[in-house]
Amino acid sequence: MGLMEGKKGLILGLANDHSIAWGIAQALHREGAEIGYTYVGETLERRVRPLAESLGATLIEPCDVNNDEQIAALMDRARATFGQIDFLIHAVAYANKDELNGPYLRTTRAGFLLALEVSAYSLTALVKAAEDLLAPGASILTLSYHGARKVMPNYNVMGVAKAALEASVYYLAADLGPRGIRINAISAGPIRTLAASGITGFRSLHRAFAEVSPMRRNVTIEDVGNTALYLCSDLASSITGEVLYVDGGFNVMGAPSSDS
């Protein structure tokens, strides 16, 4: 019997088979979870639907996280399909590409508000809408990055948004804990995803990461998927409000080691 046998939930933010969300979906499905997926627009639907169907999805719905009506409609559909949900995966982030190069100082008001709304507030909006849908013992998971705590070249406003996202995890953990509902974040090392491709200089960062991290290798979506599986399963029943690094130890390094 799999770790997630009988558990049902939603994954928001799947874009293609290179997505971190895809690594999570595969790990949860492997252990018996029943999963519903969302997409935004026809282009992403063409990528998401075949992937979701390959894992036997019974729910594939549109959801723009900036639209409260679409969020409410998603939760209504999930209630009709699943009754209750045992996990909610928030793998959603966005910033204008123009904001992800050069100095942070050039961030525009509109670009700042957009990045914070999509990448940070959307977690709270989803949890609020799903509050009476979450089963006792349910697990919520979001995705962060080390740029939330340390300056990373060209990450800029997304780093500020991820910092707000991590703070949201802490406050939501306090709100949801009395009901036995957990919420955590995974801070993954750099992975070649559609979202990462918008960051100027990402390829160089990705190459250098493996040279500096203690494990001397890049992180994969499978690495993140397996950690997500743990956090969503009953094995992590007392873990909430945490930001768990899956980065081969990169975050502990103050400077490259002498043999790198």
Instruction: Check if 245 is active-site.
Output: no
The single residue of 94, 155, 230, 245 carrying the catalytic annotation is: 155
The single residue of 145, 170, 171, 230 carrying the catalytic annotation is: 145
**91: helix, coil or strand?**
coil
Burial 183-216 (b: 16+ CB within 10 A, else e): bbbbbbbbbebebbebbbebeebbeebbeebeee
Strands (E) in the chain, as ranges, are 8-12, 34-39, 59-62, 85-90, 134-144, 182-188, 243-246
How far, in whole angstroms, is CA 256 from its chain's centroid?
28
H-only helix segments in 13-98: 20-30, 41-54, 68-82
Inter-CA distances, 65 with 38, 94, 125, 126, 237, Å: 10, 11, 8, 8, 28
Give the pair of three-digit tokens for residue 109. 């008001």
Instruction: Check if 145 is active-site.
Output: yes
Give the pair of three-digit tokens for residue 221. 């979506």
Q: How far, in Å, CA of 86 to CA of 59, rounded? A: 15
Give the pair of three-digit tokens for residue 186. 């995974």
CA dihedral 128, 130, 131, 134 (to 10 degrees): -150
Report the catalytic residues. Answer: 145, 155
